[in-house]
């Protein structure tokens, strides 16, 4: 069977090794360009299933700011990133929230959870950007 060639740029560290791989029947027959073992692991994982940490925000009420930053607590398949975002579309939280509070467990059918990445206190009067004169003029 024919040899299939693939190219990867490693994202494990800032060096960014350019790695060339040759595959036969889906098996790696050669790998060149990785300067360390982590690069090899990265490529094998990319071939099997590219995984990424997702960071985003969800709306929060009763807090100083409109949005709360969140992340997946472990990498999730890259192909599911938009699905994770979709699943978060209806989430709205109420302050107070503690850092690492679990917001969605098992997001998009994975074993990863969406967790808060900061503490957000409850405040009596939310600082709402809509009240600021510039936005009012535009809106």
Among 32, 82, 105, 131, binds another protein (CB under 8 A): 82
Which residues 39-58 are close enough to bind another protein by CB under 8 A? 50, 52-57
User: Which of the 8 DSSP states describes residue 97?
Assistant: B
Specify the stretch interacting with another protein by CB under 8 A; choose among 23-31, 67-75, 104-112. 67-75
Cis? peptide before 39, omega within 30° of 0? no
Q: For tokens 């967790």, name the residue.
A: 115
Tell me: does residue 99 bind another protein (CB under 8 A): yes
Measured between alpha carbons, how far is 19 from 36 in angstroms, rounded to an integer?
Answer: 11
Cβ 1 to another protein shortest distance, Å: 28
Please count the residues of this chain forming the interface with another protein, following the rule CB under 8 A: 33
- Strands of 4-9's sheet in order across: 4-9, 18-24, 27-32
CB 78 within 8 A of CB 50: yes
Using DSSP's 3-state secondary structure scheme, residue 123 falls into coil
- Which positions from 10 to 39 touch another protein by CB under 8 A, shown as an x/- string? xxxxxxx------------------x----
Q: For binding to another protein (CB under 8 A), which residues are involved? A: 9-16, 35, 50, 52-57, 59, 64-67, 69, 71, 78, 81-82, 85, 99, 117-119, 129, 138
């Amino acid at each position: 069977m024919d040899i299939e060639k693939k190219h990867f740029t490693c994202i494990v560290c800032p060096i960014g090794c350019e790695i060339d791989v040759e595959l036969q029947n889906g098996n790696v027959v050669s790998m060149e360009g990785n300067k360390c073992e982590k690069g090899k692991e990265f490529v094998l994982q990319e071939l099997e299933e590219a995984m990424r940490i997702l960071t985003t925000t969800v709306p929060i009420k009763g807090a100083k700011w409109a949005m709360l930053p969140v992340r997946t607590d472990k990498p999730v398949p890259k192909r599911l990133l938009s699905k994770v975002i979709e699943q978060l579309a209806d989430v709205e939280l109420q302050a107070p929230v503690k850092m690492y509070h679990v917001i969605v467990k098992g997001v998009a059918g994975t074993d990863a959870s969406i967790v808060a990445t900061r503490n957000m206190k409850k405040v009596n009067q939310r600082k709402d950007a809509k009240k600021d004169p510039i936005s009012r003029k535009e809106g």
